[in-house]
A and B are shown apart, each in its own frame.
Chain A
Amino acid sequence: MTNTIEIDSVTRQFGRVRALDSVSFAVPEHSFVGLLGRNGAGKTTVMSIMAGQDRPTSGNVTVAGHDPFEHAPTLAQISYVRDNQRYPDDYRLHHVLRIAPNFAPNWSPEVAAELVEGFRIPARTPIKKLSRGQLSSVAIVLGLASRAPITLLDEPYLGLDVTARAFFHTVLLRDYEDHPRTVVFSTHLIEESASLFDRVVIMDKGRVVLDAASDEATETAWVMSGTTPAVTRLTGNAQVLSTSTVGGLMSATGFGALDSETRELAQELRVQIVRATLQQLVAAYGANDAASDRKEEVRSA
């Protein structure tokens, strides 16, 4: 499988803040990739670099074989809608729909019309007066009706109601058959979109902490729960991302294959081991860092 997007050791520095710190990952052609992580992890920064709207301080980005920055043929293949997309003040929906095809050579008026109707986007209300969910709907109309080979969706679900979220997935998947595309989503609604991703990239504090096929990611991640001494004993040599204890009970979320010896011992010690869901895994990576920060603060205090 060829890679549509390749991010190679990308660092992005904003003044003294390092938003991306040597980030590398690849997006295979026609895959759906979830870009996950806490607020401030660097998801939007890496997206705007993929979209050619920003440049890395160092490192390389290749989209469809080119550096996307100011490269018109590459940009024509990308549909990128920011989560805080701005529109001119007096714009209504029809203005947006009239202008969008100029930037999207594969624009489908049918897909746009179907989405506008399904999302119930009000036609007469100025865009700037739309609700958060309605704004997200407009962004999805632009993202999907563009039929761009590379579709980058930054937080497409913000404020979107449950019916609209399922409708968005249905239209995307149905349109994919005749117009396959590579899609990168960033989202916090992990539980709901997890089954849509075939790959996940988890970021934390400007770094990639996990880049794997979805199935592999959750197959190798686990949650152990039982009495604190038993779980502590079992997790002794394992890569533990986060733990929580209540009373004498402990649950630990970790990553890495567990050998049969550990599993047998778990049974003996009555510790339950289950596969972690993607949501648990992302939360654990986020918490992991928060915990180590706290430790550092304590030490320096």
Chain B
Amino acid sequence: MFTGEIPIYQQLADRVAEDILAGTYPEESSVPSTNEYAVFYQISPITAAKGVNLLVEQGVLYKKRGVGMFVAAGAREKLRVKRRAAFSERHIAPLVHEARLLRIYREELDDLINQEDSK
């Protein structure tokens, strides 16, 4: 279910972060346990813990001892700020690169974005 280019723990953290951004897991709600992630994605429990802990370190998730893992208050805003910082590198740079190769100029690019946005 995960691909080879990015470390698995990173992909797990990304996916959980996306679910939080999309509102699948609202703030203060519980997320699946490390072991449930391990079983679901068929990954080593140590790798799953590494991914989840990444989000704990970022203050996105927090542990309630003996209860489970929860989405922290303000987690969505935190993730938004972080993903915004990476937006240019992750999305704009490849877009501009590809557009240049295909000789799609600014005006046409704007049209394409407007079309996609109005879907």
Q: Are A and B subunits of one complex?
A: yes
> Is the CB–CB distance between B42 and A198 below 8 Å?
no
B75 interfacial contact with A, CB 8 Å: no
Q: Is the CB of A196 within 8 A of B46?
A: no
9-residue interface stretch from A86-94, A135-143, A211-219: A211-219
Q: Classify chain B's interface size.
A: 10 to 19
Return chain B residues, CB-CB under 8 Å to A197: 44
B46 close to A173 (CB less than 8 A): no
A48 CB–B CB distance under 8 Å:
no
Residues of A within 8 A of B43 (CB): 195-196
Rounded to whole Å, the gap between the CB of B59 and the closest CB of chain A is 23
Residue contact A173 to B38, C-beta cutoff 8 Å: yes
| Contact pattern, A 127-163, Cβ under 8 Å of B = 1, otherwise 0 | 0000000000000000000000000000000000000
Interface of A, secondary structure class, is helix
Q: Give residues 162-209 of A contacting B (CB, 8 Å).
A: 166, 169-170, 173-174, 176-177, 180, 195-198
What chain B residues lie within 8 Å of A177 (beta carbons)? 33, 35, 45
Partner of B42 from the list A195, A214, A215, A218 (CB cut-off 8 Å) is: A195
How far is it, in angstroms, between the C-alpha of A196 and the C-alpha of B38 when the chains are bound?
9
Chain B residues whose CB sits within 8 angstroms of the CB of A176 once the complex forms: 35, 38, 45
On whether the beta carbons of A170 and B39 are closer than 8 Å, the reply is: yes
State which of A31, A166, A215 has its C-beta within 8 Å of the C-beta of B7. A215
Contact A173 B39 (CB under 8 A): yes
Provide the residues of chain A in CB contact with B89, threshold 8 Å: none
8 Å CB contact of A196 from B9, B35, B42:
B42
Minimum CB distance partner of A192 in chain B: B42
Other-chain contact of A275, B2, B4, B42 (Cβ < 8 Å)? B4
Interface centre among A31, A180, A196, A277 (most CB of B within 10 A): A196
Question: Looking at chain A, what size class is its interface with the partner chain?
Answer: 20 to 34
Q: In the complex, what distance in Å separates the CA atom of A166 from the CA atom of B7?
A: 21
The answer to whether the Cβ of B41 comes within 8 Å of any Cβ in the partner chain is: yes
Q: How far is the CA of A219 from the CA of B47 in the complex (A)?
A: 15
User: In the complex, what distance in Å separates the CA atom of A214 from the CA atom of B35?
Assistant: 19
Contact A195 B2 (CB under 8 A): yes
Interfacial chain A residues near B38, Cβ < 8 Å = 173, 176
- Cβ of A195: which chain B residues have Cβ within 8 Å of it? 2, 8, 41-44, 47
Contact of A69 with B by CB under 8 A: no
The one of A166, A196, A218 in contact with B44, judged by C-beta atoms closer than 8 angstroms, is A196
Measured CA separation A107–B66 after assembly (Å): 27
Nearest-CB distance from B46 to chain A (Å)?
A: 4
Chain B: minimal CB distance from A267 (Å): 10
A196 to B45, CA, bound (A): 8
CB closest residue in chain A, given B8? A195
For residue A265, CB closer than 8 A to chain B, the reply is no
Taking the closest CB of chain A, its distance from the CB of B102, in whole angstroms, is 17
- B42 close to A219 (CB less than 8 A): no
Interface residue ranges, A against B (CB under 8 Å): 30-32, 166, 169-170, 173-174, 176-177, 180, 195-198, 214-215, 218-219, 274-275, 277
